[in-house]
Structure 1
């Protein structure tokens, strides 16, 4: 059996029991301390720091009373239609003429002022009492103004209260070009709305179904923040916002800013 010379020397050398053994170099200890400091800082931030907490919802720009159907009060055939979508009508203004079975011409008039959103009848069409002739966005509220109606999932709407700031992405004014429209929450419905209730506000059953497709929603009413000197008369995240007048019946996507929450609350789901 042969042994290497160095191995034989190591066996003859005495044990260095009185020597200090270095478990880690100073650089290694520094790395450990830095890691511990980062972990401690992250833990403190998780409890004392804040992250922005927001809720999203979709809706449209409209007026506080929403839209209402103008229904026929007579049986007969439509002779003339005097309005088309986008027209402004005054209270009592003629909308259509109906010829009754007795040959008498009855004039259907709008019971309130507003803007014609949709016309669902045409010349020669037969009408019966209660059948919708047109849909009109009402402008006869005592505090008539431009607002945003948002439909927010019920589970998230519970966190929204009056006064929360809202950023609105208007479909006809791309945010990348014109910024976001500013607003503030003025009311939140206490209970979820049914599809039929939403259809009554919008005058569009298909749109109402799309809003409740993901589950129950609540109505969140948002007042737009006014600002002098902008083309629209409202405040935007950009300096001036888009050119021209801001119209109603425009789709919006909204972010409601609820303030800040500690990071640990997001982890714990509170």
Structure 2
């Protein structure tokens, strides 16, 4: 029977009982230290870290003076519609003419200065006294702008005056020009339905789009001003867009409602 030389040598040597045994090498201790550091850091962050609480809702830029529905005091047929949506008018300007049964033509004029939002009275349309034939947004221009945001009733209790708001404005590239800055000025006391929102924004389509067909609470946002920018308002970028913003531009509002720790988030979701 043949034995290997190494095996025979092992049999001749006594057991090395006094030799220390290395259970974990240097790399193992390093990995263990890294894992413990990560766990400890995560635990500290979960208790002391801050996660922002935000809420988003759609809105629209509008005049601080609101909108005015123009009604006709006359019965008859619309003969001429002089004004058009988007046109600025002054008090006393002609909006449309109504021809009565006596064939006399009577004029419906603008009651205030502002911009025509809608013209409900089309040529050939029959109207009665009290019918709304136009909607005018009051105010003289961009300096009068505020933002009206429609917040779902389930989230409206979280909004209060003084909260900071960032507004992504339709038509203003966000990566290039940033967000418009604002502050909550007022929160509506009662919810409104989409039909009531029509009188605020001037268009059934826009009202349904902003309210999503559900009761909402109107929240008025005051825009922060900055005389150094072209628009006259403050943006998250240094200069903002090199042009004016205007009424009826839609926005997506992001409300900063506060902060909470990651530990709170875990408790709420568990």
1:203 and 2:202 are equivalent in the alignment: yes
Partner of 2:233: 234
Q: Is the 8 A contact 1:57 1:255 kept in 2?
A: yes
Q: Distance in 2 between matches of 1:192 and 1:258?
A: 20
Look up the SS of the partner of 1:223 in the other structure. Answer: strand
Give 1:268 deviation, angstroms.
2.9
Alignment partners' CA distance in 2, 1:191 and 1:95: 33
Does the 8 Å contact 2:169/2:250 carry over to 1? yes
Partners of 1:216 and 1:84 in 2: CA distance:
30
Q: TM-score, normalized by length of structure 1? A: 0.84
Q: Do residues 73 (structure 1) and 73 (structure 2) align? A: yes
Q: How much is the aligned-residue C-alpha RMSD, in angstroms?
A: 2.8
Alignment length (residue pairs):
267
Of 1-10 and 109-118, more deviation after overlay is shown by 1-10
- Which whole-Å CA distance do the structure 2 matches of 1:17 and 1:159 have between them? 72
Gaps (5+ residues) in structure 2?
none
Q: TM-score, normalised by structure 2?
A: 0.84
User: Matched residues in 1 for 2:125 and 2:213: separation?
Assistant: 37
In structure 2, the residue matched to 1:256 is 255
Q: Return the offset for 1:27.
A: 2.8
Q: Distance in 2 between matches of 1:52 and 1:269?
A: 15
What's the counterpart of residue 90 of structure 1?
90
Deviation at 1:12, TM superposition (A): 7.8
Kept in 2: contact 1:211–1:217 (CA 8 A): no
Match of 2:136 in 1: 136
For structure 1, the 5+ residue unaligned runs are none
Ranges of 4+ aligned residues in structure 1 off by more than 4 Å: 1-19
Task: Give 1:202 deviation, angstroms.
Answer: 1.0
Segment of structure 1 superposing worse, 127-136 or 248-257? 127-136
